[in-house]
Structures are given as structure tokens and as C-alpha cells.
Amino acid sequence: MNLPNKITIVRILMIPIFLIFMLVPGITYGQYIAAAIFILAALTDALDGYLARKNNLITNFGKFMDPLADKLLVSSALISFVELKLVPAWIVILIIAREFIISGFRLIASDNGVVIAASWWGKLKTNVQIVMSVMLIINLDYTIIDILEQIAIYLALALTIISMVDYIWKNIKVLSENNSK
């Protein structure tokens, strides 16, 4: 197993540790430790991708596990926010549903021999989700921070929808090609 794939595995293994610090009450500085773990895990995503491309270490395992690790990390954080009553469940459902829809869409594309790269909208969505998540994990209780958190939540939701529509619109032919077989 190459280094980028090992980094991806480490990211997945960080998720339960993140969840312990995020959700178990009474851990001293738990939210700050959870934030540090989340940030580190998010950074490993950039690192493993960079190393895989730079050193030509792209594998089928990495193509499958890297996006899965990202979805697991973000979904774990989002579900935690519902548990902690920081984000309404309907918003989390929409964000996670988008991930399932796009994953299914990519699977259909892959079956047709089409590789669909992440779009600018999708990358922006991911970055806003990460910033939003860090803000909510730390959850400082100041009026201005509360307002910024709400802006980040709704911005992440808007970008989730925009990126999904953009993704499907630009690649709708994948579905029609699949139906014509």
C-alpha cells in the first residue's frame, strides 16, 4: 500500500477519535481537540491527493477510498451538529443527499467509461463546509460568531445545491448515454 493510500486510511481512523472529542461531554477542551483533529483530517485530504498526483501513485483503491473518506468525515461532523442542535436536520439531510446523488452519478459515468473531475463549485462547496464545520466544532458563543456560523451554514447549503445542479447539468449526457445502451 502506497503512502497516499495510508494517509487516506489514517483519515478514516481519525473519524471515531474526532467523534469522541466532539460528542462525549465533559472532556476538557474536547471541542478544541475535535477541531484540531478535523482540521488535520481535512489537510490529509489535500496531502494524499498531492502526493498521489506528484509521484504518480494513483490507484483504484485511492480513487474509491479518498472521496469516501471525505464523505465520512464531513457526514460525521454534520450528523454531530444535528445531535448537538447546531444545524437543523433538514439541512444535513440535503447536504448528505447531494453526496449520495453525485456519488451515484459518478458511478454511472464510470460505468460508461467517463471520468468526471470535481468542479470549481464542488471545491468551493467543500471548502465552505470545512470552514463551517470548524466554526461549529469550536462553537464560540459570541453574537457575531453566531451570525457568521449561520451565514456559513446557509452558504454551504446553497453551494451544495448549486454544485449539484452544475454537476448534473454539465454531465447530463451520462444519464442519456446509459439509457440508450
Alpha helices (H) along 24-55: 30-54
Q: Cα(162)–Cα(160) distance, rounded to whole angstroms? A: 6
DSSP 8-state class, residue 13: H
Identify the domain containing residue 90 by its residue range: 3-179
The position carrying cell 447546531 is 86
pTM reported for the whole predicted model? 0.89
Q: Write a three-state SS string for 93-140.
A: HHHHHHHHHHHHHHHHHHHCCCCCCCCHHHHHHHHHHHHHHHHHHHCC
C-alpha cell at 95: 447536504
The length of the chain is: 181
Q: Cα(25)–Cα(173) distance, rounded to whole angstroms? A: 49
Give me the number of domains the chain comprises.
1
Q: Cα(3)–Cα(5) distance, rounded to whole angstroms? A: 5
Q: What pLDDT is stored for residue 124 in this prediction?
A: 94
Q: How large is the C-alpha radius of gyration of the chain?
A: 17
- The CA–CA distances, whole Å, from 66 to 6, 26, 151 equal 10, 32, 28
Instruction: End-to-end CA distance of the chain: give it in Å, rounded.
Output: 37
Q: What pLDDT is stored for residue 135 in this prediction?
A: 97
Q: What pLDDT is stored for residue 114 in this prediction?
A: 79
Mean pLDDT by 10 residues, the chain (181 residues): 94 97 96 97 92 90 87 96 97 96 85 80 93 96 94 97 92 68 48
CATH number for the domain harbouring residue 83: 1.20.120.1760
The position carrying cell 460508461 is 112
